[in-house]
Amino acid sequence: METIVVLAAHPDDVAACMGGTLLKLRGAARVHVLCATRGERGCPGRDMDEVAKIREAEERAACEVLGAEVTFLDRIDAEVLADAAIIARVESELERLRPAALFTLWPVDRHPDHSAVSEIARKAAGTGEARCPIVYYESALSCQVSQFHPDVYVDVTDVWDEKLRA
């Protein structure tokens, strides 16, 4: 069975953006999520460590519904940069997992973490043993992306309720 990897910036990105597609792939591919942050700044005014624990638990529960494993890359929400260390970490994960494809956020996105994750994917999956095709997905908030013209649509009607649960 082939493996696919989904590289996301925040805990809610995968279920919101790719949840239906991953549910359709369940049983046909192993899915591994690489999540750059724990979403520490996702609840303004609350303690970042407390929010990180809550959102990490939510992401683990969502991945369980989606049939995916998850690895957190230990970056801080709103501080994700495509630096050498995280590129090397993602490259190492891709070498270990040997995915058939890497799914990641579309690069032209107003959220800097989303754009950074996309750049990380391009650099990590582009060379050596980690080389694999990249498939872009759109942020659930399509108002924050531009120049995205998908050429594949996945009908997730039959898994919609389960996607919402994730």
Which position has the higher pLDDT, 2 or 127?
A: 2
Beta bridge partners of 75: 37
Token digits for 18?
């790719």
Taking a C-beta distance cutoff of 8 angstroms, is the pair 15, 39 a contact?
no
* Confidence at residue 146, expressed as pLDDT on a 0 to 100 scale: 82
Residue 69 pLDDT exceeds 70: yes
* Confidence at residue 140, expressed as pLDDT on a 0 to 100 scale: 66
Which residues fall within 8 angstroms of residue 58, CB to CB, at 6 or more apart? 11, 12
Averaged pLDDT score across all residues of the chain: 94
* Confidence at residue 142, expressed as pLDDT on a 0 to 100 scale: 65
C-alpha–C-alpha distance, residues 75 and 81, integer Å? 9
pLDDT tens for each residue of 46-64: 999 999 999 999 999 999 9
Q: Which residue has the tokens 């800097």?
A: 112
Residues of the chain with pLDDT > 70, as a percent, come to 98
What is the band of 141 on the pLDDT scale with cuts at 50, 70, 90? low
Taking a C-beta distance cutoff of 8 angstroms, is the pair 102, 117 a contact?
no
Q: Which residue has the tokens 């050596």?
A: 128
Nearest to 37 by CA among 45, 46, 49, 20: 49
